[in-house]
Amino acid sequence: MTALVPALLCLLAQDRSAPLAPADELARFDLAPGLVAELVASEPDAPKVVDIAFDDSARMWAITATEYPYDGNERADAADKYRSGGRDRVLVFDDVWSQPPRAPRVFADGLFQPMAILPWRDGALVGHGSELLFLRDNDGDGRADAREVWLSGFGIEDSHLLPHRLLRGPGGWIYVAQGAFNYSKVKGNDGRETRFDLCKLARFREGGRDFEIVCWGPNNIWGFVLDARGQMWIQEANDLGMPLMPLFHGAAYKGIGDDKPHTHAPWQPELAEFQMGGTGLSGLAELGSPFSGALDGVFAVANPILNAVQSIRVHDERGIWRLERGPDLLVSRDPWFRPIAVHNGPDGCLYIVDWYNEIISHNEVPRGDPRRDKQRGRIWRMRPSERAPARPRDVTRAPLAELPGQLRDGTRFEKRAAWRQIATRGAPELEPALRALAVATEPELETRLLASWSLDAIGADLGGVAKACAMSDQPALRVEAARLCERHSEDSLFGLARALLRDSNPRVRLAALRAFAAHSTLEPADVALIAEVGAHAAASREPLPLGRYREFEASQARALLERHAARLASGTVEQRAFAALALPAAESALALAALLPQLGRAPRAEELDRVLQAAWSGAQPATESVNALLASSDTRTLLVERALAAREVPQPLPNESAWVDAARAADASLRLRLARKLRLSALGTELSALAWVEPPGSARRAELLRTLAELGAAAPELCARYAFDALPGEALQREALQTLAALPNSEARASALVECASRLPEPLARIALDALIQYGAGRRHLLEALDADRVNTAWITPEHVERLQTYDSQAPVLAKLAAELERDATAVLRLSGGKDERLDSDVVLDGPFTVAAWVRLDEPITNADGILGRAGGADFNFADGRARLYAGPGEGDLVIAKRALEPGRWTHVAFTRDAAGLARVFLDGELSATGTKTSTSRFDGLDVGATTPEEGTRGELAHFLVLGRALDEAEIAQAMAVASPQGWPGFPIGGARVERTLSGPPVATPQRAAELQREWDKYAAMLRGGGDAVAGRGVFARTCESCHAVGGTGGRLGPPLDGSGLRTPDGLLAALLYPSRAVEGGYRQWRIKLASGEELAALVVQQDERGLLLRRAGMDDLFVPRGEIAAAEITRLSAMPDGQLQSLPDADAAALLAYLASLR
């Protein structure tokens, strides 16, 4: 069915909006008062530009990504694509101010969906798949002629999360971001390797040296800015209260996988009390003059989901920031307008990268869907109407002596470019002038910062500059003083860092802690000072967000002490307790066990964690301390909460009886959570009794079921009862059935599954049927039910029949089912490798044509395998495993596919030749290669399955198609989805045979296609018809909220659904009806087989050398050590099963669709 979805969506394409010419698109821009927009570049010169950057000559660099998206987690050949290259390019616009704008020149081509660009010296850094490349122009002809790999090992699982947003910062650092779901082991040119998994931001130095992680999370950072105060800002793509966040070194931001540098690192606070709308924020730019004269910046936000460029204003208050939603700067009435990046230009204007395609979401439609535009793309310039764009100064041509003056008097661009030029050229003779700027009080803040960064870049002595900055009343300069202390380890600067550690501003203290982290040793006095600062921060009870920054300060201090295994010999009890947290686990627990009674307050979470883990490891003093904490009503709940937060729980659980008593003393909700987390099997009987009397409709039923399932105490009869009692489509219904299916084999389980298969809707009944065929008792019960006509035979698949036949091959009901299924079997041409095996078809190809077929070839795949050919003539074969059109000995190869076929797997292969004689080859509905020469020769006498070598084809062919015209990519995608009506053109000879099989390619019969179209039309009408959105909120709560969040409320198994109403209607509908057809890589289901034989289906939200962290619907996250895993594989299936929407009553389905469509 999923193969048919692109065809279904194409049928709806007639209702979608059409692309506009740039002038018509511009006419649909609604701009804020006083702003105007104008076109800078568009197709065909700049197709599918994904990002831009300006160099110090004011030239605009751009990268195209015409082949996006192409994901490594679903395409085995993705790595080959990057190696062999593609159609993408690095473009340079030497002049974007002339009218009309000049066409770009090509700096580099042959790339495959690059995602990052940063001009660098005589070339550019380019993020390209698993590598960060330096493409340089050695001979000065304007084209790249050298290619250096600076960094390698980036994950390519998900193409919209590849390394991106390169940014140059002070200290010689270059920053780079990676999104969630990609797993990397980055290797630099200095030989260092660094695990770089999930969403993170890192930095490195020129040449790919010193790669290090800067922050952990959030989910995807498409906005990254260095502002006029020297503060870096990042942006979370999803609208989760983090459209703008200050970047701190060592910080953790909430994201998929919950990854942190330390278990004690707090999540950075969400600063926005408002939402931007949608789930795809894609860029940031600080708007300085002429847009805003205020220094506490106004930021432009690219929001492609809302077809808008928005704004946020930042207010600095008490050392923290408050965000204010600003006015929309640009809103387009053209749904194809998709701003995916915004950048300040050298002329002070805002440059907007417009993807220009109504399809924008990575998982909205399959990659091969023809509505994924591969041609268009625009770049716009937005500016105040009174400010005419003017060509900026080329700072690379400025004499060295003029650069300090440009730091002081230049525009924002000229100042930044002057700093970069000083660093690039190396100019020690500028030190006096730069030092005068850095220490004087008259220049504006940005000038002083840039002068300091420039002095740092040329290796000047910075003691005097650091001291001058430390005396400033501006926090940004005191932060700079701390940065200089971090960069340089002179004793005088280290003393300055000690003073800054007592600064009143939290940002300054955090920067000062970084200075201590740069030193290899700590003096006892420094240990005492850090413990004092950390203990004071840990004791703070400031409200959010300041309170969270205080927690971060305490965490950074603790991490610093941990790094040095620092021991504090004296100090207050609070300081000694804080320092004890930084000791090795066993030593720390012993120290804390002795100190906790002296604190005179309730223990904190991190203190309890350390003692708890030590007790679970068998340390007697820690065990005694835990027993005392559990026995006291004042501390019991605190310790229980920490147990619930533990990532790993030992089994068997030490001192289980004490925990059972604690669970019984807790309230009902806490008792269930604790029993589930710690697997307190002693509570199974009493909780089971509670489950049987819990009334239908109670929210606690789900908690009881999950707990009993975790304890192995869920009875099959209870699972079935919960499934039958639940409302149609309610999440509990599916959860109860899945729990039943996962129970150990038994007669009771089989009987309950048969009841579910007979009474529940088709999508749920199929779950029961799949579980029944796995073992003997289940097969017997299913056969009996089929005999009694209790199960709908239309839901029985060929796999079901095959499994049932292994139990009783003579069962009459199976013969009947096999005969019914035979009607839908695929007629395949089976070839066994004989020289004369073929279909005597005598096909003639003269002029344009299309030749297509599904093929499943045996290993090895060679030029002896083919679709169509004649000895001594044309041959459509698979030389070296790749589809090839060979025109005969006189003309040779016309086209060869870029990737090889996988043996034993059905693949759709199509060859076309147009009227000009140009050949193309398509694999699975997507263009793989275009020929480089033409041929209009007549090919005659061709037989299906025949090839030119002595041996013949080994494998199967199905749904052969030959047409007298060249189909385009969209037509081929549609043709492959439905069974070909042509039949086999001829009769088999030489041992070839036509057989019928139930394991044919994934195509639909015309009848099934019609059924699916009717289903689509039904729900499309509901979506257009306007159900009750208010009622739909309740339907969402009981059917979807356990897995999906809206407005920050709900589960985390699936992606947040904020902004669902901004998707195209067919994209929203397809995601609900066929969730696996274009699922984002990180939401694909994994199959985990444990060494014990147990099998789990879950999302993997984090993986490392220790194991996998699994997330399952309605259950706590589960950590599985690698030693307990026998096998693990990622599937092509969404964690959301098919049939959710179809299982709802029509009124509920219409209401749910209306609610989702209202989320904007």
How does pLDDT run across 532-572, given as a tens digit for each residue?
Answer: 999 999 999 898 898 999 999 999 999 999 998 878 888 99
Q: Band the pLDDT of 824: cuts 50, 70, 90.
A: confident
Phi, psi angle pair for 818, to nearest 5°: -60, -40
Query: What is the tens place of the pLDDT at every residue in 1115-1134?
Result: 778 889 998 999 888 887 78
Average pLDDT of the segment spanning 793-819: 87
Query: What is the tens place of the pLDDT at every residue in 40-71?
Result: 999 999 999 999 999 999 999 999 999 898 88
Pick from 25-29, 87-91, 399-403, 1029-1033: least confident: 1029-1033
Q: Which residues contact 265 (CB under 8 A, 6 or more apart)?
A: 216, 250, 251, 252, 552, 555, 559
Q: To the nearest whole percent, how much of the chain has pLDDT over 70?
A: 97
User: For all residues of the chain together, what is the average pLDDT?
Assistant: 91
pLDDT of residue 490: 67
pLDDT of residue 1095: 79
Q: To the nearest whole percent, how much of the chain has pLDDT over 90?
A: 67
Q: Which residues contact 993 (CB under 8 A, 6 or more apart)?
A: 829, 830
Could you give the C-alpha distances from 671 to 657, 664, 678, 836, 1050, in angstroms and in order? Answer: 14, 6, 11, 73, 22
Cα gap 415→68, rounded to integer Å: 36
Average pLDDT of the segment spanning 450-469: 96
Return the closest-CA partner of residue 346 out of 292, 400, 302, 390. Answer: 390
Query: What is the tens place of the pLDDT at every residue in 406-426?
Result: 999 999 999 999 999 999 999
Pick from 278-292, 465-479, 931-945: least confident: 278-292
Query: What is the tens place of the pLDDT at every residue in 151-186?
Result: 999 999 888 889 999 999 999 999 999 998 899 999
Query: What is the tens place of the pLDDT at every residue in 871-910?
Result: 889 999 999 999 999 999 989 999 999 889 999 999 999 9
Residue 4 in this model has a pLDDT that exceeds 50: no
Cα gap 222→521, rounded to integer Å: 37
pLDDT of residue 966: 97
Query: What is the tens place of the pLDDT at every residue in 961-985?
Result: 999 999 998 889 888 888 877 778 8
Across-strand partners of 1119? 1109
Q: 123-156: string of b/e by CB count within 10 Å (b at 16+)?
A: bbbbbbbbbbbbbbbeeeeebbeeeeebbbbbbb
Q: Band the pLDDT of 1004: cuts 50, 70, 90.
A: confident
Angle 817-818-822 (CA atoms, 0-180°, nearest 5)?
120
Q: Band the pLDDT of 293: cuts 50, 70, 90.
A: low
Cα gap 198→182, rounded to integer Å: 5
pTM: 0.85
Q: Which residues contact 680 (CB under 8 A, 6 or more apart)?
A: 653, 656, 659, 660, 663, 674, 711
Average pLDDT of the segment spanning 779-796: 92
DSSP letters spanning 400-463: GGGHHHHHHHS-HHHHHHHHHHHHHH--GGGHHHHHHHHH-SSS-HHHHHHHHHHHHHTT---H
Query: What is the tens place of the pLDDT at every residue in 732-771?
Result: 998 999 899 989 899 999 999 999 999 999 889 999 999 9
Which of 210-214, 647-651, 1149-1153 has the highest mean predicted lDDT (pLDDT)?
A: 210-214
Return the closest-CA partner of residue 366 out of 1129, 976, 1130. Answer: 976
Q: 90-116: string of b/e by CB count within 10 Å (b at 16+)?
A: bbbbeebbeeebeebeebbeebbbbbb
Q: With H, G, I as helix, E, B as strand and everything else as coil, classify residue 1050.
A: strand
Residue 647 in this model has a pLDDT that exceeds 90: no
Q: 758-789: string of b/e by CB count within 10 Å (b at 16+)?
A: eebeebbbbbbbbbbbebebbbbbbbbbbeee
pLDDT of residue 883: 97
**Pairwise pLDDT comparison (778 vs 825), residue with the higher score:** 778
pLDDT of residue 818: 83
Q: Band the pLDDT of 489: cuts 50, 70, 90.
A: low
pLDDT of residue 2: 41
pLDDT of residue 98: 87
Q: Band the pLDDT of 402: cuts 50, 70, 90.
A: very high
CB-neighbour burial class of residue 463 (10 A; exposed 0-12, middle 13-18, buried 19+): middle
Average pLDDT of the segment spanning 1050-1063: 84
Amino acid present at 975: A
